């Protein structure tokens, strides 16, 4: 459990939980994705759980293991315990907790939103998969290929059956490269359909084409509020899109945070409020360590 907590953050600051992808450490992802920069700029706290090789040799979060879909005593439960500790230790706003992740971390983001929906105001899934897409490693590979026979109702039922919650539900933002060969774009489309069904959305989305090469769709819930987003990044492979230079930039380009001219972290940041200063304070090289949970 690693935490980046700006010293001059406001009282009852928000919390953003950031989940890395396979082969990465917590800082390997949180820093280039821009979350540490944004925490300093906007005054929120970042919690970055880090997988161990004892749990997974490739450092992937085990989103597909049995028990993860029923809030069982596995990794989702451990991350939920970390969130509770961070909220208490840093005196954060429990009503403004958000979660995001890449690839396996994105799939775990979807699992957390489904199994602990009361903990989160919203989440952003980068190159991830719908909750309940797999219950074994073999099934996980099929899910990554975008293979599913489930319709929207079945996908939504997997979320509703994981917590017993009847609402309100977290908002969900889905980002997926249209040239992703590791987790196929169809997996992101299924994730968007899943949460549209959970939110009871029946209307067509509002759509836009962004000059930087991004198709943007947003679905409104029955009350007319934005509930589900889908961002299709044309020409991008597997990763989290960033804008490393120029206005509205944050983070840095790397293998799994490709430069696209679109900052997904800044765009999906839901902590609210305007920057309290124009100078971005660079974070320390290593995130401060907080006592591990369980």
d(CA 105, CA 63): 8
In the residue annotation, 268 being an active-site residue is answered as no
Query: Burial code of 198-232, b = ≥16 C-beta within 10 A, e = fewer?
Result: bbebeeebeeeeeeebbebbebbbeeeeebbbbbb
d(CA 177, CA 172): 17
Report the phi/psi class of residue 160: left, alpha or beta, with left for phi > 0 and alpha for psi in -120 to 50.
Answer: alpha
Closest CA to 22 of 170, 195, 144, 172: 144
Closest CA to 103 of 240, 196, 265: 240
- Tokens found for residue 74: 């596995």
Report the phi/psi class of residue 159: left, alpha or beta, with left for phi > 0 and alpha for psi in -120 to 50.
Answer: alpha
Catalytic residue among 11, 25, 78, 103: 103
d(CA 231, CA 104): 18
d(CA 161, CA 158): 5
Rg, the chain, Cα only: 17
Within 13 Å of residue 101, how many CA atoms lie on the same side as its CB? 32
Q: Which residues pair with 4 in a beta bridge?
A: 46
Closest CA to 229 of 259, 206, 246, 245: 206
Catalytic (active-site) positions: 103
């Amino acid at each position: 459990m690693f935490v980046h907590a700006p010293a001059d953050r406001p009282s009852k600051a928000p919390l953003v939980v950031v989940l890395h992808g396979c082969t990465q450490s917590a800082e390997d992802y949180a820093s280039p994705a821009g979350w540490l920069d944004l925490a300093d700029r906007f005054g929120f706290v970042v919690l970055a759980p880090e997988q161990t090789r004892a749990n997974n040799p490739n450092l992937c979060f085990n989103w597909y293991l049995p028990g993860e879909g029923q809030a069982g005593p596995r990794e989702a439960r451990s991350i939920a315990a970390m969130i509770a500790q961070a909220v208490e230790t840093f005196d954060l706003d429990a009503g403004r907790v958000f979660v995001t992740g890449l690839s396996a971390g994105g799939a775990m983001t979807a699992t957390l939103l489904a199994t602990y929906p009361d903990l989160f105001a919203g989440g952003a899934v980068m190159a991830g998969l719908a909750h309940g897409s797999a219950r074994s490693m073999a099934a996980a590979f099929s899910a990554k290929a975008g293979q599913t026979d489930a319709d929207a109702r079945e996908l939504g039922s997997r979320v509703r059956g994981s917590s017993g919650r009847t609402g309100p539900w977290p908002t969900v933002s889905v980002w997926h490269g249209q040239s992703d060969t590791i987790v196929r774009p169809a997996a992101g489309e299924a994730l968007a359909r899943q949460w549209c069904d959970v939110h009871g959305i029946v209307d067509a989305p509002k759509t836009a084409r962004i000059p930087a090469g991004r198709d943007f769709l947003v679905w409104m819930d029955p009350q007319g509020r934005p509930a589900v987003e889908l961002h299709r990044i044309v020409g991008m492979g597997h990763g989290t899109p960033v804008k490393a230079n120029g206005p509205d930039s944050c983070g840095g380009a790397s293998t799994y945070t490709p430069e696209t001219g679109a900052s997904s972290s800044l765009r999906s940041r839901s902590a609210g409020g305007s920057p309290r200063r124009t100078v971005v304070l660079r974070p320390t090289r290593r995130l401060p360590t907080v006592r591990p949970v369980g």
